[in-house]
Amino acid sequence: MKVGVLVSGEGTNLQALLDRVHGREGIEIVAVASDRAQAPALERARRAGVATRVFAIQDYSDRPARDAAIGGWLVAQGAELVVLAGYMQLLSPAFLGRFPRRVINVHPALLPAFPGLRAVQQALDYGVKVFGVTVHFVDDGVDSGPVILQRAIELPEAEDAEEVLERLHPIEHDLLTTAVRLIARGGVVVDPTNPRRIRVTG
């Protein structure tokens, strides 16, 4: 299975994919795209010999045009699955339509709680004691697609969002790489009786 990855920042989730699944079990990361030319994630991809490209919004008439360009490039690279690994932009319905049930995201909260930006700070402000990570399919909402995997961690004394995120990073890496491996071997199935329910069979 060929994988395209969208990134905006440091790229630690991308690095986990490169280290743990790239070139293994028939999985190949073939393309990494970013909305930011200076994203450190791009250099991680280049070091691994993976094709990269920048799609800055100012170079396009609007977001759908930019997303169409990204989608076309990913298709040309042969991507069969698209992974959002710290990609900080919403994707247009037309983009998602090119990859039906083939776009996944990792989010630092136990969805459906605390979707969107600053999820950990949202959770802290709410006073929760249990944090977590979700890997889910992307739909045209904000972090509203069907859940593939989740894992929770109790942090009853947590007060600082950056400290919580540091604790969540290893979980993000584990869940995201696991999800990609499961999808590659056909171990993630949509329940025919409920399209929002995902069965993990692998």
Instruction: Tell me if residue 22 is catalytic.
Output: no
Q: Report the side by side order of strands in the sheet with 28-34.
A: 51-54, 28-34, 2-7, 81-84, 103-107, 130-137, 147-154
Taking the C-alpha atoms of 169, 171, 173 and 179 in order, what is their torsion angle to the nearest 10 degrees?
-150
H or E element, residue 151 = strand 147-154
CA dist., res. 10 & res. 191, Å (int): 35
Which of 22, 107, 136, 173 is the catalytic position?
A: 107
DSSP character at residue 57: G
Catalytic residues: 107
